Amino acid sequence: MVDRGPKPDDIEFKPLLRAARKRQRFRTLLADCGYDAEHHHRFLNEKLGVIGVIPPTRGRPPKNPDTHKPSGFYRRFLHEHWPGIKPIYGQRWQSESYFSMSKRLLDSFLRSRKRANQDRELHLRNITLNLMLAADP
């Protein structure tokens, strides 16, 4: 989703996932800890039937990490089972790598000033990077 910042990304969480679900069915979502909230997990599981693999680490660090358990059913479940789930979460490197390549190869800033032109520039960068990746042997 193309949007303007700075602001928290989790504002677009539900609309973005509804739109993604209409385009492509998926059973698991890997997201960074910025999306760690019980209401996000509940939305994923109860409304979309999707398992959210999100590190349960958002918020202030606990005083005693050994005895602390996050609030909420889904966050507590992930906390208790994180060692077994962590290898799945490790696949996020693929999307992070794509963003890194985009910024490194095609710049990390936009030249356009108008919003519509900025949107076009971002979409063209994505197309360009995809073509670059497809052409690379």
Strands 28-30 and 51-53: parallel
Could you give the CA distance from residue 89 to residue 85 in angstroms, rounded to a whole number? 7
Please report the pLDDT score of residue 42 as a whole number: 95
The pLDDT of residue 131 is 94
pTM of the model: 0.75
Average pLDDT by stretches of 10, the chain with 137 residues? 74 91 93 89 94 83 74 88 86 87 89 91 93 86
CB 107 within 8 A of CB 88: no
54 with 31: CB under 8 angstroms? yes
**Side-chain-side CA neighbours of residue 62 (13 Å):** 11
Identify the bridge partners of residue 19 per DSSP, sorted by sequence position. none
Looking at residue 16, what is its pLDDT?
A: 92
Domain boundaries, the chain: 9-91, 94-135
Residue 53, Ramachandran bin (φ over 0: left; ψ between -120 and 50: alpha; else beta): beta
CB 122 within 8 A of CB 130: no
Under 8 Å CB-to-CB from 130, ≥6 apart: which residues? none
Tell me how far the alpha carbon of residue 54 is from its chain's centroid: 9
